[in-house]
Amino acid sequence: MTERKKVTLTTLYSKAEKGEPISWLTCYDYPTAYLQEQAGIDMILVGDSLGMTMLGYDSTLPVTMTDMIRHTQAVRRGAPTAFLIGDMPYMSYQASTEDAVRNAGRFMAEASCDAIKLEGGREMADRIRAIVAAGIPAFGHLGLTPQSVAALGGFRLQGKGAAQAKRIVEDAQILEEAGACAILLELVPDRVCELITKRAKNSLIMSLGSGPNAHGQLLIYHDMFGLYPKFTPKMAKVYGNAGEVILSGLQAYNQEVKDQTFPAAENYFGMKDDEFEALVKSLDN
């Protein structure tokens, strides 16, 4: 087991101050969380992307708080010291600040999160303010926000033009003023990300496909290892094809069962002759 001390907001701010980039990954289950903890990943996001990567939906919209809490609890069991962020699912915060505070509180109380994340700019500033006022660290999320993908016109770069980029820069400032301890910029041009990072005073700026000039980087775990069958976004780096390794193992198993080369002697247990004879005898009576 890792000897690492618990990663806290103080740890993260201190890394940012020293110019040490923060590593961040998505994770949805116990065994993967265990590996990420061993690898020393600083922050883990239990994203509502689990709707697509783990539950097979076409979008993140059907994901519920119950889904999120169950997966987040499993991740916390596997990664006790990583800074753990629960992602507020669709309609867990949009309708009212009361919903937002109550559901953010569930992540903290039921899944031992260190923070929550929600999507949206200025229109969500009051939610961030209320959550932070309740003593819960809150992450903002700007640029490509998957819960609004229909309104954004698909999974595409956000803030390409000056006017749209200005709105993202302003939104980042508004979320920071509302108390967001960190802001994720997803799929915005690198120079916009750099500008926001330079202007940030109290918020950590994290990049997902938005270039190197941020306080840290986020990747979707399934994209890193070829584990999402439908597509791999262009911005993702593939570090290995676990999907291929698993598929060839499954094919080999299927074949070995059929040609009776599995199980081999080392895959099962025998019984002493006298015990077996006694068993057979007892059944004869």
26 counts as binding ligand KIV under rule CB under 6 A: yes
Can 186 be counted among the known catalytic residues? yes
Shorter beta-carbon distance to ligand KIV: residue 115 or 265: 115
Give the other-Cβ count within 10 Å of 248's Cβ: 10
Select from 37, 42, 48, 114 the one that contacts ligand KIV (CB under 6 A).
48
Output 46 or 178, the one with its CB closest to ligand KIV: 46
Give counts: helices (H), strands (E), the chain: 12, 8
Q: Residue 248 and residue 242: Cα distance in Å, rounded?
A: 10
Give the DSSP H or E segment for 129.
helix 125-133
Sole window of 40-48, 74-82, 130-138, 238-246 interacting with ligand KIV (rule: CB under 6 A): 40-48
Contact criterion met (CB below 8 Å) for 192 and 211 = no
- Closest by alpha carbon to 87, among 53, 56, 37, 58? 53
Annotate 145-159 with three-state secondary structure. CHHHHHHHCCCCCCC
Nearest approach, Cβ of 119 to ligand KIV (angstroms)?
A: 7
Tokens read off for 179: 């108390």
Q: Does 205 bind ligand KIV (CB under 6 A)?
A: no
Query: Among the candidate windows 45-53, 95-103, 124-132, 195-203, which touches ligand KIV by CB under 6 A?
Result: 45-53
Q: How far is the CB of 46 from ligand KIV (least distance, A)?
A: 8
Q: What is the largest CA-CA distance in the chain?
A: 89
Phi, psi of 169 (to 5 degrees): -60, -45
In this structure, what token pair is assigned to residue 271?
């019984």
Catalytic residue among 37, 119, 176, 186: 186
Is position 208 an interface residue for ligand KIV (rule: CB under 6 A)?
yes
72 lies in the site for ligand KIV, by CB under 6 A: no
* Residues of span 261-280 touching ligand KIV by CB under 6 A: none
- Only one of the segments 47-55, 153-161, 246-254, 261-269 lies at the binding site for ligand KIV (rule: CB under 6 A); that segment is 47-55
The least CB distance from residue 220 to ligand KIV, in Å, is 6
Chosen residue from 86, 121, 137, 146 binding ligand KIV by CB under 6 A:
146
When asked if residue 67 is in the footprint of ligand KIV (CB under 6 A), the reply is no
When binding is defined by CB under 6 A, the residue of 49, 72, 92, 232 that contacts ligand KIV is: 49
Minimum CB separation of residue 139 from ligand KIV in Å reads: 10
Other beta carbons less than 10 A from residue 97's beta carbon: 17
- Nearer to ligand KIV among residue 26 and residue 158 (C-beta): 26
Q: Give the number of other CB atoms < 10 A from CB of residue 213.
A: 16
Residue 76: closest CA among 166, 68, 173, 134: 68
Residues in CB range of 216: below 8 A, 6 or more apart: 15, 16, 21, 22, 23, 24, 42, 43, 204, 206, 207
Q: Which residues are catalytic?
A: 186
**Residues near ligand KIV (CB under 6 A):** 26, 45, 47-49, 60, 87, 146, 184, 186, 208, 220
